[in-house]
Structure 1
Amino acid sequence: MESYSLLYSSSHRTGLLSGFQRLRSERRMCDVVLETGGTSFPCHRALLASSSDYFWALFGESTAERLAASISLPALTPEGLEAVLDFLYSGWLGLSLPTLPAVLEAARYLQVQTAVSICERFITDGLCASNCCCYANLAEGHALPNALAAANHTIAMEMGRLLQENREGLLELNIQSLMAVLDADDIPAVKEVELIKLALDWLDANGPLPLLRSNLLLSRLRFGLVATSDLTNLSHSHRAMATPLIRSQLTRALEYHGLGSAQPIRQSRQTSLRALPNRVLLVGGGASPDWPEQQVLTFDLTDRKFSSLTSGLPRRLRKQCVCSVGGFLFVIGGEEVRAGGEDGGKSVPVTTSNQVWRYDPRFECWEEAGSMLERRAQFACCVVEDVIYAIGGQHTRPETNTHTSVASVEFYDMAAGTWRRGAAMPRPLCGHASAVLDNGIYVSGGVPDDNGDIEGSDWGGNRGGNQDGNQESSREVLFWDLSSKVWEKRASMSIARFGHRMATVHGHIYALLGMYEPFCDIERYDSRADHWTRLRPLLIGSSSYGLATTPTGSLLLFGGRKWSEGQEVTVRSVLEYDTERDRWREICQLPRPLTGTECTLLPLPD
C-alpha cells in the first residue's frame, strides 16, 4: 500500500461558512423560511440540521416539517432568532445586556449548546453589582450552573451595596439564589439583622409561600449573630418567625448568648461569623518595647492591607500571649504597663497579670474571662482541641523588682470558665516557645531556672537572655503527650534560643529567630525522625516580632527589632517565609514601626 498525506485547511471551513452567509444574505438556494413575530428568515435546511439538534430532529425523515417551505417559531423573538442564526452562519454571537435574555431563550429552544455556553461565559465574565440579580434569575431560569454560582457569589460579596442601591432587585431574586446567598460563609459589611429583614421583606413580596419553603429560607439565617434584644423583637415581627422550626432556632440562639465562657466550644453554623479566616490580628506592641499600645491592628491576607479594630485592648500589656478559639480572641497574662508620675509622663511601672480578656468580633466587645491560677509573662501558650494551655513563664514582684520563673502548666476549662492544673515541666522556664503537633505540645529553648535538674540537659552559650543575667538560654526540646502526665526530652535544636517562635506547618515544626542569638538560622523538626534540619537563614537578625501562620503554610513576621549602627531599632517590615521553597521576601510594610506584638488568625466582619 502506497503512503499518502492527509492535510487540513482551516481556511476552507471559514470560507464554507462565509459562502453560506453570502447565499443567505442574497436569499439564494434557501429551501426553508423560519418565521416569528412577523419576521421571516430564509435559511438552508442542511446548515440548520448540521448545527442544531432541534432542526436535526425537525427535518427528520418522519416529520411533517421535513418538506415544509415555512416553519413558525412563535416561542422566540425576532431578535433572539436572528442572533442565533447569525451565529450558525458565521460563528459570531452578538450579545448585550438588553438582548441576552432573548438570545439565550432562542439558543436553549433551538438546542445550540455552543451558543448557550457563550451566553453563560458572557454572564460570568460581566458580573457586577448592577446586573448580578438579573443575571442570577436568568441563569436559574435556563439552568446555567456555573453562571448561577458566580452570580450568587457576586450578590453575597456586593450585598452591602445592593441593600442600599438595589433592594428591589434583591426582592425580585429567585428563591434558589436567595437561599444560596444566605448560605454563604462570607457576606462582607452586612450585619445579620439586615439579612433577616431582607428575608422577611422577600417573603412579603413573593408570598405566601408553603411552610416548608419558608422554613428552608429562614433556617439559613444565623440568629446567633443577633443581639438578645433584637432576637426578642424579631420573634414577634413576622408570622413566618412563629413556625416551630424557626422558634426553636431562636430559642437556641438565646441559649447560646447565655452560655458565657462556654460560647467558643459551643460554636455552630448558626453562631459563626460570615467571614473567612483571612485576617491576622496584631495584638499589643508599639514603637518602644517599654510602652506598648492598646490598639489592635488587623492584616488582610488577601489585599495585604492594615486596619484597626474599633475597640482597643482593655489594658496596656507587654509579654502577653494571644490565641483564638471558636471565633473568639483571647489575650492572656503579660505585664501590665501604667503611666506614672505627677507629670503624667510615660514611666513604666509593671505588674505581672493573670487576667484573661476575651474579644467577641460579633459584637465588637471585650469581657474578662476566668483568671489564670498564676501570674505569667514571657510564657508559652497554645491551643489543642479548643483547650488553651499556659506553660511556664515568670512573674515580677513590683515591690522588690524581683523575677520568679515557674514550671507550672495550666489549661482553661471553658465549660466551667476556670483554669486547672496540668503536668508541670521539669524546671521553671521563661522566654521559651511552644507548638502543637500530633495532639502533643512541644516546648523549646528559653531560660531555665538554675534549681531545676533534668538528666542530660543541653545548654547553649548565649548569655543575657534573661533579666537575672546569670543564666544561659537552652537548646532543649520537651514534649508532652497530653494523654500522659510527664514531659519527655526530644532532639535538641542546633542553636540555643530565647524569645524565639515556633510554628507548625504541613506536619513539621519550625523554630525561628530569637533574642541574643549570633545567627539568623531557621530550623525544621521532623517528629518521626526526631531530627532538626537547618534551613535558609534570614539575612538580618530580628527579635520581638509577631509571627502568624497562613492557611497556605507560609510564615509571616511582623515588625520587631534589629541592630543598626550599634543600636537596636524598631522596624516596619513584614516578611514572608515560604516553607515549600525555603525562601524569604518582604511583602509589605507596617503602618508604623512595631515591636512586641502577638499574632493570631481570626475571622472578622468587614
Structure 2
Amino acid sequence: MDSYSLLYSSSQRTGLLSGFQRLRSQRKMCDVVLEAGGVSFPCHRALLASSSEYFWALFGETTSERLASSISLPALTSQGLDTILDFLYSSWLSVSPSTLPAVLEAARYLQVEPAVSICERFITDGLSAENCCCYANLAEHHALSDALEAANQTIAMEMGTLLRESRDDLLSLNIQSLMAILDADEIPGVQEVDLIRLALDWLNENGPLPLLKSNLLLSRLRFGLVAPSDLTKLSLAHRAMATPLIRSQLTRAMEYHRLGSTQPIRQTRQSTLRASPNRVLLVGGGSSPDWPEQQILAFDPRSRKFSSLSSSLPLRLRNHCVCSVGGFLFVIGGEEVKEGDEDGKKSVTMATSNQVWRYDPRFDRWEKVESMLEMRTQFTCCVVEEVIYAIGGQHTLPDTNAHTSLASVEFYDMATGAWRRGAAMPRPLCGHASTVLDNCIYVSGGLPSNHSSIHGSNHGDNPDEHRESSRDVLFWDTKGRVWERRASMSIARFGHRLATVHGHIYALLGRYEPFCDIEQYDSQSDHWTRLRPLLIGSFNYGMVSMPCGNLLVFGGRRWSDGQEVIVRSVLEYDTKKDRWREICQLPRPLTGTECTLLPLPD
C-alpha cells in the first residue's frame, strides 16, 4: 500500500465562509428567504442547516418548510436575526449591551450554541452595578447558569450601592436571583434589616405569591441579626411575615436575643454574620509597652489593609488574652493600666484583672460577662470545643507590687455563664504559651515557680532570667484529671507563641533566644525538629494562625544597636515551605497586641 500524507489548510475553511458571505451579499444562489420584523434576509439553506439545530430540523425531509422559498420568524427581531446570520456566515458576533437581549433571543431560538456561549461570556465579563440586575434576569430567562451565578454574586457584592441608587432594578429582579442573593454569606455594607425591607417591598411589587414561594424567599433572611425592637416592627409590616413558618423564625430570633452567655454556643445560620472571610483582630498593645491603646485594628488578609474597629476596648490592658467563640470576641484578664494623679504629679498605675469582656460584632456591642475566679496576667488561654480555658499566669499580691505565679486552670462554661476549676498544672507558670491539638491542650516554656521581683511587661527583660526559662512541654486531655509531660523543646522559651498547623505544633520566637529558633512538634513521634530561624527576631508581638496554614506575626519589639525598637512589620511564615517574608507594614509601631480571627461586617 502506498504511503500518503494528510494535510490541513486553515485558509480553506476561512475561504469557504468568505465565499458564502460574498454570495449572500450579492444575493446569488440563495434558495431561501428568512423574514423577521418586516425585513427579508436571502440565505443558503445548506449553510443554515449545517450551522443550526433549528434549521437542520426545519429543513428535514418530512417538514412542510423544507421546500418553502420564504420562512417567517415572528418571534425574532430583525436586528437579532441579522446579527446571528452574520455570525453563521463569518464566525464574528457583533454584540453590545443594548443589542444583547435581541441577539441572545435569536441565538437561543435558532439553537446556535456557540453564539449563546459568546453572549454568556459577554455577560460574565461585563458585569457591573449598573447592569447586574438586568443581566441576571436575562441569564435566568435563557438558563445561562454560569452567567446567572456571576450576576447574582455581583448583585450581592454591590447591594449597598443598589439599595441607594437602583432600588427599582432590585424590585424587578427574578425570584430565583433574589433567593440566591439572600442565601449569600457575604453582602458587604448592608444590614439585615435592609434586606428584610427589600424582600417585603419585592413581595409588594411582584405579589401576591403562593404561600410556598413567599416562605422560601423570607426563610433565607437572618432574623437573628436584627435588633429585637426592629423585629417587632417588621413582624407587623407585611402579611407574609404572619405565616406559621416565618412566625416561628421570628420567635426563634427573639429567643436568641435572650440567651445571654449561651449565645456563642447557640449559633445558627439565622444569627451568623454575612461577612467576608475572617479578619485578624489586633486587640490592645500600642506604640509604648507601658501605655497600651484601647483601639482595635482589623487586618484583611486578602487586601492586606488595616482598618480601625468602630468600638474601642472598654479597658486599657496589657498582658491580656483574647479568643473568639461563635463569632464573638472575648478579652480576658491582663493588667488594667490607668493614669493617676499623686501630689499633683501624673502617674501610671497597673492592677491585675480578672474581668472578661465580650464583643458582639453583629451589633457592635461590648458586654461584661462573668469574671474569672482568679486575677491573671502573663497567662495563656485557648479554646477547646467552644470552652475557654485560662491557664497559669501571675497576679499581684494585695497591698504590694510583687507578683505570685499560678498553677491553677479554670474554664468558662457558657451554658451557665460561670467559670469553673480545671486540673491544675504541676507547678506555677507564667510567660508560657499554649495551643490545642486534637482537642488536647499543650503548654510549653515559661517561667516556673514564683518570682516576686518580676513586674508587668518588664517581666523577662532581664537577660539573667533567661536561664530560668523552661523547655518543658505539658499535655492535658481536658477529659482527664492530670497534666502529663511530653518531649521538651530544644531550647528554653519565655514570652513565645505556640500554633497548631496541619497536625503539627510550632513554637515561635520569644525573649533572648539564640538565633530566633523555630521548631516543630510531631505528636505521633513525640519529637521536636528545628526549622529555619528568623534572622532578626522580636518579642511582645501578636500572632495568628491562618486557615491556609500560614502564621502571621504583627509588630513587637527587638534590639537594634543596643536600643529597644518597636517595629511595624507584618511577617508571614509559610509552614509548608519553611520560609519567612514581610508582607506589609502596620499603620504605626505596635507592641503587646493580642490577635484572633473573627468575622466582621463589612
Q: What secondary structure, in the 3-state scheme, does the structure 2 residue paired with 1:340 have?
A: strand
Q: What secondary structure, in the 3-state scheme, does the structure 1 residue paired with 2:339 have?
A: coil
Partner of 2:528: 532
Q: What secondary structure, in the 3-state scheme, does the structure 2 residue paired with 1:341 have?
A: strand
1:591 aligns with 2:553: no
TM-score normalised by length of structure 1 = 0.96
Q: What is the CA deviation profile of residues 205-243 of structure 1, one whole-angstrom value per residue up to 9, with x for unaligned ones?
A: 001111111111111111100111111111111111111
Conservation of the 8 A alpha-carbon contact between 2:409 and 2:423:
yes
**TM superposition shift of 1:3:** 2.4
Q: Which amino acid aligns with 1:264?
A: P
How do residues 226-245 of structure 1 correspond to structure 2 at under 5 angstroms? Answer: 226-245=226-245
The number of aligned residues is 595
Partner of 1:566: 562
Cα distance 1:469–1:344, how it changes in 2: closer, same or farther (>3 A)? farther
Partner of 1:459: none
Partner of 1:255: 255
**TM superposition shift of 1:344:** 8.0
Conservation of the 8 A alpha-carbon contact between 2:405 and 2:450:
no
**TM superposition shift of 1:471:** 6.4
Q: What is the CA deviation profile of residues 271-309 of structure 1, one whole-angstrom value per residue up to 9, with x for unaligned ones?
A: 000003331100000011111000000011111111111
How do residues 286-435 of structure 1 correspond to structure 2 at under 5 angstroms? Answer: 286-342=286-342, 347-397=347-397, 399-435=399-435
Distance 1:185 1:203 in 2: 22
Partner of 2:55: 55
Conservation of the 8 A alpha-carbon contact between 1:558 and 1:574:
yes
Partner of 1:12: 12
Distance 2:354 2:463 in 1: 20
Q: What is the CA deviation profile of residues 417-468 of structure 1, one whole-angstrom value per residue up to 9, with x for unaligned ones?
A: 00111111111111111111111111111111169xxxxxxxxxxx946899
Conservation of the 8 A alpha-carbon contact between 2:474 and 2:484:
yes
Distance 1:36 1:113 in 2: 20
Conservation of the 8 A alpha-carbon contact between 1:291 and 1:346:
no
Distance 2:462 2:261 in 1: 35
Conservation of the 8 A alpha-carbon contact between 1:572 and 1:591:
yes
Conservation of the 8 A alpha-carbon contact between 1:465 and 1:472:
no
Partner of 1:74: 74
Conservation of the 8 A alpha-carbon contact between 2:515 and 2:535:
no
Long gaps (5+) in structure 1: 452-462
**TM superposition shift of 1:343:** 8.2
How do residues 451-490 of structure 1 correspond to structure 2 at under 5 angstroms? Answer: 464=460, 469=465, 472-490=468-486
Conservation of the 8 A alpha-carbon contact between 1:448 and 1:474:
yes
Distance 1:549 1:337 in 2: 28
Q: What secondary structure, in the 3-state scheme, does the structure 2 residue paired with 1:532 have?
A: strand
Q: Which amino acid aligns with 2:532?
A: R
**TM superposition shift of 1:398:** 6.1
Long gaps (5+) in structure 2: 452-458
Partner of 1:518: 514
Distance 1:378 1:387 in 2: 20
**TM superposition shift of 1:244:** 0.9
Conservation of the 8 A alpha-carbon contact between 1:403 and 1:468:
no
Partner of 2:280: 280
Q: What secondary structure, in the 3-state scheme, does the structure 1 residue paired with 2:205 have?
A: helix
Distance 1:435 1:345 in 2: 43
Q: What is the CA deviation profile of residues 6-43 of structure 1, one whole-angstrom value per residue up to 9, with x for unaligned ones?
A: 12122221111111111111111111111111111111
Conservation of the 8 A alpha-carbon contact between 2:460 and 2:511:
no
Q: Which amino acid aligns with 2:387?
A: V
Q: What secondary structure, in the 3-state scheme, does the structure 2 residue paired with 1:411 have?
A: strand
**TM superposition shift of 1:332:** 0.4
Distance 1:146 1:527 in 2: 45
Distance 2:568 2:519 in 1: 24
Partner of 1:98: 98
**TM superposition shift of 1:2:** 2.7
**TM superposition shift of 1:62:** 1.3
Cα distance 1:534–1:322, how it changes in 2: closer, same or farther (>3 A)? same
Partner of 1:455: none
Identical-residue share of aligned pairs (%): 79
Which deviates the most, 531-540 or 406-415?
Answer: 531-540
Q: What secondary structure, in the 3-state scheme, does the structure 1 residue paired with 2:314 have?
A: coil
Partner of 2:46: 46
Distance 1:119 1:563 in 2: 61
1:576 aligns with 2:572: yes
Distance 2:54 2:97 in 1: 26
**TM superposition shift of 1:328:** 0.3
Q: What secondary structure, in the 3-state scheme, does the structure 1 residue paired with 2:11 have?
A: helix
**TM superposition shift of 1:507:** 1.3
Distance 1:386 1:562 in 2: 35
Q: What's the Cα RMSD here?
A: 1.6
**TM superposition shift of 1:520:** 1.0
Conservation of the 8 A alpha-carbon contact between 1:464 and 1:472:
no
Q: Which amino acid aligns with 1:582?
A: D
Q: What is the CA deviation profile of residues 299-335 of structure 1, one whole-angstrom value per residue up to 9, with x for unaligned ones?
A: 1111111111111000000000000000000000001
Cα distance 1:344–1:130, how it changes in 2: closer, same or farther (>3 A)? farther
Q: What secondary structure, in the 3-state scheme, does the structure 1 residue paired with 2:499 have?
A: strand
Q: What is the CA deviation profile of residues 348-389 of structure 1, one whole-angstrom value per residue up to 9, with x for unaligned ones?
A: 311111110000001101010111111111111111111111
Q: What secondary structure, in the 3-state scheme, does the structure 2 residue paired with 1:479 have?
A: strand
Cα distance 1:148–1:321, how it changes in 2: closer, same or farther (>3 A)? same
**TM superposition shift of 1:340:** 1.3
Distance 2:525 2:80 in 1: 68
Distance 2:5 2:407 in 1: 84
Cα distance 1:290–1:368, how it changes in 2: closer, same or farther (>3 A)? same
Q: What secondary structure, in the 3-state scheme, does the structure 1 residue paired with 2:115 have?
A: helix
Q: Which amino acid aligns with 1:540?
A: I
Q: Which amino acid aligns with 2:252?
A: R
Conservation of the 8 A alpha-carbon contact between 1:278 and 1:302:
no
Q: Which amino acid aligns with 2:394?
A: Q
Distance 1:537 1:347 in 2: 40
Conservation of the 8 A alpha-carbon contact between 1:447 and 1:466:
no
TM-score normalised by length of structure 2 = 0.97
Partner of 1:541: 537
Partner of 1:456: none
Distance 1:264 1:468 in 2: 44
How do residues 483-502 of structure 1 correspond to structure 2 at under 5 angstroms? Answer: 483-502=479-498
Q: What secondary structure, in the 3-state scheme, does the structure 1 residue paired with 2:547 have?
A: coil
**TM superposition shift of 1:519:** 2.1
Conservation of the 8 A alpha-carbon contact between 2:463 and 2:512:
no
Distance 1:96 1:90 in 2: 18
Distance 2:467 2:393 in 1: 15
Q: What is the CA deviation profile of residues 541-592 of structure 1, one whole-angstrom value per residue up to 9, with x for unaligned ones?
A: 1111110112211111110001111011101111111111111111111110
Conservation of the 8 A alpha-carbon contact between 1:411 and 1:422:
yes
Cα distance 1:419–1:593, how it changes in 2: closer, same or farther (>3 A)? same
Q: What secondary structure, in the 3-state scheme, does the structure 1 residue paired with 2:292 have?
A: coil
Cα distance 1:450–1:358, how it changes in 2: closer, same or farther (>3 A)? closer
Conservation of the 8 A alpha-carbon contact between 1:280 and 1:300:
yes
Q: Which amino acid aligns with 1:287?
A: S
Q: What secondary structure, in the 3-state scheme, does the structure 2 residue paired with 1:47 have?
A: helix
